[in-house]
Amino acid sequence: MRAVLVFAVLVVLGLVPGAIPARADVRMTSPLALPILRLEGAGDGLLAQRVIDREWGVSDDSTYREVDVPGWKSEGLALGLSGAIPGAGQLYVGDSSGWFYLLAESAGWFGRMLENRRADQRHQDLARFVGDPNNPTSGFSFAQYSSKTGDKAEDLRALWSGDRDAYYRALANDPKYIAGFTGVSPAADYGRYSDLMASHDAGLHSATILESLLILNHMVSAFDALRAARLNDLPLREQYHLELGERWRHGRPELRAAVVRRF
C-alpha cells in the first residue's frame, strides 16, 4: 500500500518519465476572446510549466454602429477652424462671439497694411530728400561733405553702392553727416531727414506689433472655440449613457453594449 502511494506521488510530481504528456493545450473560445490556457511540460519528467496567454479583443461576429448625436459639435474641428480663421470655430458651434474674432482679424490686417504702406512711403521720401550723393546738387552730396570735413567718407560710399537702406540709416544716425547736406540750413535739413526716418521706423514697428496681435488672435480664438464646443457638448454627454450587459449565446458568453439617451 505504501509503495502504491509513493508511486502516485511521483506521478503527480512528474518524476516518472512519460507519466505526463509532453504538451497539452486547453483552449477556451468565445466572442469575447476569453483567456487561452496552454499547458506546456518538458519531456524529461520535470514538473510541467503553466503558461497563460491572454488574447483580448472583439470576435468576428461583433457589431459596431456609429451613433449620431443631434447637436453634437466636434471639438477638434472647432479648434482647427478658429486656428485657421479666427471666429470660424465659434460660428460652427453656434457661438456669436465668433464675429468679434473675425472683426479683430480684419482690423488687424487692415491696420498692418496701412502701417506698412506708411513705412514704404517714408522710405521713398527719404530717398527723394537726399537724392544721389554723387550729384553735387542733391540733398546730400559726397563732394559737399568732403569739402567741409576733408573726409572722403569711404564707408558711406560703400553703403551707397551695396546697401541703400543701411546708407539712409547711417545718414540719420550720425550727426557728423550734417556737413554733407546742401540746403541753406544743413542742420534743419538733417532734422527733417531724421524725422522722416523716425516715422519710417514707427510704421515698421507698428506693423510688427499688429502681426504679433494677429497671431495671438488666432491662438485665443482657437482655444475659445474648443471651450465653446465643449460647453455645447457637455449637456449632450449627460443625456447619453453606455450600458453594458452579458448573456449566453450558443453556449458562449457574449457582452452587449448599448448607448441609451435619457429625455
Question: Model-level pTM?
Answer: 0.64
pLDDT of residue 35: 41
Q: Is the per-residue pLDDT at 29 higher than 70?
A: no
How many percent of the chain have pLDDT more than 90? 60
pLDDT of residue 58: 54
**C-alpha to C-alpha distance for 201 and 213, rounded to whole angstroms:** 19
pLDDT of residue 150: 92
**C-alpha to C-alpha distance for 38 and 13, rounded to whole angstroms:** 19
In a domain, 164, yes or no: yes
In a domain, 58, yes or no: no
Domain of residue 16, residue span: 2-53
Strands 240-249 and 49-53: unpaired
Phi, psi of 36 (to 5 degrees): -100, 125
Residues 110 and 39 in one domain: no
In a domain, 242, yes or no: no
Of the candidates 110, 108, 109, 102, the one whose C-alpha atom is nearest the C-alpha of residue 85 is 102
Per-residue pLDDT tens digits for 40-89:
444 444 444 554 444 445 555 556 566 677 888 999 999 999 999 999 99
165/260: higher pLDDT: 165
How many percent of the chain have pLDDT more than 70? 68
Q: Is the per-residue pLDDT at 215 higher than 90?
A: yes
Least confident of 119-128, 191-200, 239-248: 239-248
**C-alpha to C-alpha distance for 136 and 20, rounded to whole angstroms:** 114
| Cα 175-126-120 angle, rounded to 5 deg | 130
pLDDT of residue 13: 45
In a domain, 9, yes or no: yes
Asked whether the beta carbons of 142 and 157 are under 8 A apart, the reply is yes
Q: Which residue has the cell 508511486?
A: 7
Determine the average pLDDT of the residues in 27-49.
42
Residues 203 and 154 in one domain: yes
DSSP state of 240: E
Provide the residue type at 250 as one letter.
H
**C-alpha to C-alpha distance for 208 and 224, rounded to whole angstroms:** 24
Asked whether the beta carbons of 177 and 170 are under 8 A apart, the reply is yes
pLDDT of residue 111: 97
Query: Is 100 in a helix, a strand, or coil?
Result: helix
Per the structure block, which three cell numbers stand in for 45? 519528467
Strands 36-40 and 23-26: antiparallel
pLDDT of residue 258: 61
Name the average pLDDT for the chain: 79
Residues 19 and 109 in one domain: no
Determine the average pLDDT of the residues in 239-263.
66
pLDDT classification of 252: cutoffs 50, 70, 90: confident
How many domains does the chain divide into?
2
Measure CA 28 to chain center: 48
Q: Which residue has the cell 537726399?
A: 130
Helix orientation angle between 98-130 and 164-173, rounded to the nearest 10 degrees: 80
**C-alpha to C-alpha distance for 211 and 98, rounded to whole angstroms:** 20
Q: Is the per-residue pLDDT at 132 higher than 80?
A: yes
Residues 42 and 98 in one domain: no
Per the structure block, which three cell numbers stand in for 78? 472647432
In a domain, 63, yes or no: no
Residues 82 and 36 in one domain: no
